[in-house]
Amino acid sequence: MPPAREIELEIPADNVRRAADKVTRDIARVARIPGFRPGKAPETLIRRRYASDIEGEVVQSLVPEYLRKALGEKNILPVTDPRVDKVEFKEGEPLKFHAVFEVLPEFELAEYKDLAIQIDAIDVSDKQVDEAIAEIRERGAAFVPVEGRGAKDDDYVQIKLKGTPVGGGDPIEADNVLCHIGTEETLEVFTENLRGASPGETKQFEAEYPDDYPDANLKGRSYAYTAEVEGIKVKKLPELNDEFAKDAAGERGGISTMDELRKSIRADLEAAKEQRQNAQRREKILAELIERNEFPVPESLVENQMDVRLERSVRTLAAQGVDPRAVNVDWVALRNRQRDRAVDDVKAEIILDRIGTAEKIEATEEDVDREIAHLAEHSGESATALRARLTKQDALDRMKSKLRSDKTIEWLNSTARVETAAKSE
């Protein structure tokens, strides 16, 4: 069962009466009631006419205060905002309400010192150099028009799209949309209707979006689409020649042949070995801790982490110059595929927090200052301006929490027994 709690509370009748009297007076001062000058209407009339407003204000002002106090007295720290329901408000009686909220799970922390982990020996191979060159080719790919045939799987169909909501509403329009036919990121209904299409054709079809679709303008709705096929393109990779090597070198320069490019890439990969092995140590340590500690995690934290992962994917697209709104990605499926990893992310943070507390590991102000200085150096902002912005965004606490987790990982790494094994191809 998820770590949820419930609580029933009562606010004394005297406190409710005093709050109601204050709200009534506040309303009386500004209420305009026929036959009375502002502020002169009797309170009995104000209570009758504005009964629901008075109740709402009293509940809004008293419930959070008493709930916060009760949770503090019971030493309960919710991880979500409590959901309040079953509110009973009767004049002259205590105000009663019920609250449900999630809390961090209670579990016995498994042994975490002297972990035995195995990481791969990282040797830079010709295969890795080839893979790096392949990635560079992908980034330099061009989309070349195709003529004389209809669209087939793995083609990119360029369309002018217009969608009209079924049942009425504002239409949506988009030009130069590229649909990658037959791939996971493209909605199946687009693939089905655009497969076989030729430039100049117009396809009409209807798409239904699920209730949990991330785009608020589309979720739970059906759209009748008209797609004008403007062209068919295929991705063409650049030739592997000396000209490609010069382009790949970019501003670094000093490279004029493919052999020089391969040597440069190999040097970069060698330099990154330690960083990659550190990342692998972190992954293996967290995986071992997650396996040793079994407990349910708050669903709200999992949902939030799924959103974080989805936002990361959107930012990656944007960084590549792709408008996320102009690609037909099944965002719901993409988000749902993040669930298992999101659960592990949340578990890892809870475990690291418990270990940090047990070992008295903290992120100091000096740690925060160093991190801000590092970020400022790469962002172009001054450290003072960056700190002010993070403070305004309430992001300093999150930074401090991450720094504490990182220090806990470093401590675990220092106590772990690490064995390096040859990596099988």
* 187 belongs to a structural domain: yes
* 197 belongs to a structural domain: yes
Same domain, 228 and 263: no
Same domain, 416 and 321: yes
Neighbour-count burial of 86, counting CB atoms closer than 10 A to its CB (0-12 exposed, 13-18 middle, 19+ buried): exposed
Residues in the chain: 425
Of the listed ranges 91-100, 194-203, 211-220, 266-275, the least confidently predicted one is: 211-220
- pLDDT for res 111: 92
- pLDDT for res 325: 66
DSSP 214: S
Q: Which of 203, 236, 269 is the last residue of a domain?
A: 236
Average pLDDT value for the chain: 84
Which has the higher per-residue pLDDT, 191 or 249? 191
CB neighbours (10 Å) of residue 331?
22
> Residue 143 phi/psi, 5° resolution?
-100, 110
pLDDT beyond 90 at 213: no
Q: Each residue of 94-144: pLDDT tens digit?
A: 888 888 878 888 889 999 988 888 888 777 788 888 998 899 888 888 889
Which has the higher per-residue pLDDT, 299 or 356? 356
Going by DSSP bridges, is the β-strand pair 95-102/83-88 parallel, antiparallel, or unpaired? antiparallel
Please tell me the pTM assigned to this model: 0.55
Of the candidates 299, 233, 251, the residue with the CA atom closest to the CA atom of residue 3: 299
Same domain, 188 and 71: no
Same domain, 211 and 348: no
Give the burial string for 14-37 (b: 16+ CB within 10 Å, else e).
Answer: eebeebbeebbeebbeebeeeeee
* 117 belongs to a structural domain: no
Same domain, 94 and 185: no
Same domain, 284 and 225: no
Give the burial string for 209-230 (b: 16+ CB within 10 Å, else e).
Answer: beeebbeeebeebebebbbbbe
Of the listed ranges 325-334, 370-379, 411-420, the least confidently predicted one is: 325-334
What's the mean pLDDT in 196-212? 89
- What CATH number does the domain containing 153 carry? 3.10.50.40
**Neighbouring residues of 118: CB distance < 8 A, sequence distance ≥ 6:** 284, 418, 419, 420, 421
Same domain, 312 and 401: yes
pLDDT beyond 90 at 411: yes
Torsion over CA of 359, 365, 366 and 367, rounded to 10 degrees? 60
pLDDT beyond 90 at 157: yes
Q: What's the alpha-carbon Rg for the chain, to the nearest Å?
A: 30
- What CATH number does the domain containing 274 carry? 1.10.3120.10
Same domain, 224 and 269: no
Give the range of the structural domain holding residue 298, as residue numbers without chain letter: 258-422
pLDDT beyond 60 at 425: no
Q: Each residue of 35-56: pLDDT tens digit?
A: 776 666 776 777 777 777 877 8
- What percent of the chain lies above the pLDDT cut of 90? 20
- pLDDT for res 1: 45
* 107 belongs to a structural domain: no
Q: Which of 185, 206, 236 is the last residue of a domain?
A: 236
- pLDDT for res 404: 92
Same domain, 284 and 413: yes
Of the candidates 5, 3, 6, 4, the residue with the CA atom closest to the CA atom of residue 97: 6
- What CATH number does the domain containing 57 carry? 3.30.70.1050
What's the mean pLDDT in 62-84? 78
Domain count, the chain: 3
Same domain, 148 and 213: yes
Structure tokens at 32: 């305009």
Element (H, E) at 83: strand 83-88
- pLDDT for res 210: 79
* 314 belongs to a structural domain: yes
Residue with tokens 């191809």: 425
What's the mean pLDDT in 345-374? 90
* 246 belongs to a structural domain: no
Structure tokens at 169: 């509403």
Q: How far is CA 71 from CA 1, 49, 59, 78, in A?
A: 21, 35, 17, 8
Report d(CA 30, CA 326) in Å as an integer: 50
* 134 belongs to a structural domain: no
In 140-289, the DSSP E strands lie at 142-146, 156-165, 172-180, 202-208, 222-236
Report d(CA 11, CA 124) in Å as an integer: 68
Which of the four pLDDT bands, split at 50, 70 and 90, describes residue 219?
confident
* 399 belongs to a structural domain: yes
- pLDDT for res 37: 67
Report d(CA 331, CA 336) in Å as an integer: 8
Identity of the amino acid at 259? D
Of the candidates 1, 4, 21, the residue with the CA atom closest to the CA atom of residue 80: 4
Which of the four pLDDT bands, split at 50, 70 and 90, describes residue 172?
confident
Which of the four pLDDT bands, split at 50, 70 and 90, describes residue 14?
confident
What's the mean pLDDT in 26-30? 74
Report d(CA 195, CA 151) in Å as an integer: 5
- pLDDT for res 361: 92
Q: How far is CA 207 from CA 87, 177, 225, in A?
A: 42, 16, 7
Structure tokens at 412: 């675990």
Q: Which of 102, 129, 164 is the last residue of a domain?
A: 102
Report d(CA 174, CA 88) in Å as an integer: 51
Same domain, 262 and 411: yes
Same domain, 411 and 367: yes
